[in-house]
């Protein structure tokens, strides 16, 4: 019997789908999975074949979080600095990815699994999905970017409530808090995400990459710094052929078709 890979990859029409594939463990993330995900994300550059990324889980769950089953006693815990380095590299790569990212969530998204979803640009979930910052239940503090993401998404008090109490919340509450972008029935979520990913993949890759970066880091800048960053980004856009294609398409009353060429070649 051949074991299934723990991370499934599919690249179709510019959309890279990454599927956490341990359904028997509700896609609990192992060290190997962190490494595979990190290595795959490293290959993604704007303007290449990958124009959008979908992150999801197999078997009706997104991810129950990091897999802690291998450590049953304190003496068996690995070097935390070594462990967290690989995890943090993966989280940072996902957050900084220069293409749009979508988390497609069915079932549970807990702990590191939920924070991976929150690290995506958009979260699409089913009404049956459930979410939990489970760390405190394991005598752990929040990690995988949750301490940075949650206050920015929901404010300080709600971030403290979610992490310190570690309550499981439903999809409706997550949506009301701004932690889910869209809710779609289970029978519709695949088609909705496919259409969304296709729309993003058809967009101008350089402009989308710069817009994403400006929004991510503008929150920590002054208005003057944000304006300077926007001006620098527009200078890059205006030197790329994407702008000529957009203007031509507008004049010709057609949809633009952006070339899949690396930024360095422009």
Q: What is the pLDDT of residues 141-174, one digit of tens each?
A: 999 999 999 999 999 999 999 999 999 999 999 9
Query: What homologous superfamily does CATH list for 205-265?
Result: Lyase 2-enoyl-coa Hydratase, Chain  A, domain 2 (1.10.12.10)
Q: What is the pLDDT of residue 241?
A: 87
Q: What is the pLDDT of residue 70?
A: 54
- Residue 247 predicted with pLDDT over 50: yes
Give percent of the chain with pLDDT exceeding 90: 72
> What average pLDDT does range 219-245 have in this prediction?
86
Domain locations in the chain as residue ranges:
7-201, 205-265
Least confident of 70-74, 135-139, 233-237: 70-74
Considering the chain, what is the average pLDDT of its residues? 90
> What average pLDDT does range 17-37 have in this prediction?
96
Task: Give the global pTM.
Answer: 0.89
> What average pLDDT does range 103-115 have in this prediction?
98
**Fold adopted by 7-201:** 2-enoyl-CoA Hydratase; Chain A, domain 1 (3.90.226)
Q: Which of 80, 64, 46, 59 is nearest to 8 (CA)?
A: 59
Q: What is the pLDDT of residue 210?
A: 93
> For residue range 181-225, what is the model confidence (pLDDT) as tens digits?
999 999 999 999 999 999 999 999 999 999 999 999 888 888 888
């Amino acid at each position: 019997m051949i074991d299934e890979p723990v991370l499934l990859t599919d690249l179709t029409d510019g959309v890279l789908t990454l599927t956490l594939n341990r359904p028997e463990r509700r896609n609990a993330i192992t060290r190997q999975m962190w490494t595979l995900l990190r290595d795959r994300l490293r290959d993604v550059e704007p303007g290449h074949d990958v124009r959008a990324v979908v992150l999801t889980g197999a078997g009706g769950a997104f991810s129950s979080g990091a897999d802690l089953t291998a450590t049953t006693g304190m003496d068996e815990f690995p070097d935390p600095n070594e462990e967290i380095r690989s995890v943090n590299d993966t989280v940072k790569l996902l957050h900084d990815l220069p293409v749009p990212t979508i988390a497609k969530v069915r079932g549970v998204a807990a702990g590191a699994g939920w924070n991976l979803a929150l690290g995506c640009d958009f979260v699409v979930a089913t009404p049956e999905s459930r979410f939990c910052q489970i760390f405190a239940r394991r005598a752990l503090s929040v990690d995988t970017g949750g301490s940075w993401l949650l206050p920015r998404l929901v404010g300080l008090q709600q971030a403290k409530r979610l992490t310190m109490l570690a309550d499981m919340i439903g999809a409706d509450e997550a949506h009301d808090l701004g932690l889910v972008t869209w809710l779609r029935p289970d029978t519709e979520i695949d088609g909705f995400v496919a259409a969304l990913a296709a729309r993003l993949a058809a967009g101008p890759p350089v402009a989308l990459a710069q817009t994403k970066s400006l929004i991510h880091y503008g929150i920590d800048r002054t208005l003057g710094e944000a304006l300077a960053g926007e001006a620098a980004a527009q200078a890059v856009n205006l030197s790329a052929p994407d702008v000529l294609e957009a203007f031509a398409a507008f004049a010709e009353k057609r949809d633009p078709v952006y070339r899949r060429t690396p930024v360095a070649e422009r």
